[in-house]
Amino acid sequence: MPADIADTLVLTDQNGDELSQLGQQDFERSFNSDVSTGGPTHFTVVDRQIRLWPVPDSAYQFTLSYKRRLATRDSSGNIQAGFFKADTDFPLWDDHHYLIVVRAKLLGLKSLTDPTASALEDEYMDLLAAMREEYTQAVPAGFQVPAWP
């Protein structure tokens, strides 16, 4: 599973049918001793591994949709889960570094209950909307678009 995955998962098969997700205990109670094979209809996640039931009897294609946790890019442009790990890391989205500055200023002013924070709130939301628009327009078909708060 991707390192930046959050807790919300949707798994669909090659026909677009959604598999039912069960908690690990419910999955094990229901299917642990069942060795049926066929096209999977249920899944659970155990130690960041997806377990399917019934056990696939053939090669199947699946699409995993999820909410992305905080992610950054390393100096080679590879996406990595979490905060910056090195001084050479940079934000996930190109050309939107200033958004970080505005957000930091906004949080600082809010913590001081400064009345000028509301002006930065509007600027932050405008920059965030522009970033979302640019990113969703640039995402090639078949790639996961992160969830927005």
Domain boundaries, the chain: 5-66, 71-138
Count of residues in the chain: 149
The pTM of this model reads 0.54
CB 12 within 8 A of CB 41: no
Per-residue pLDDT of 76-120, as tens digits, reads 988 888 888 888 888 776 666 778 888 888 999 999 998 888 888
Separation of alpha carbons 24 and 75, rounded Å: 37
Q: Which residues pair with 133 in a beta bridge?
A: none
Residue 38 has pLDDT above 90, yes or no: yes
- pLDDT at site 147: 56
Separation of alpha carbons 141 and 18, rounded Å: 19
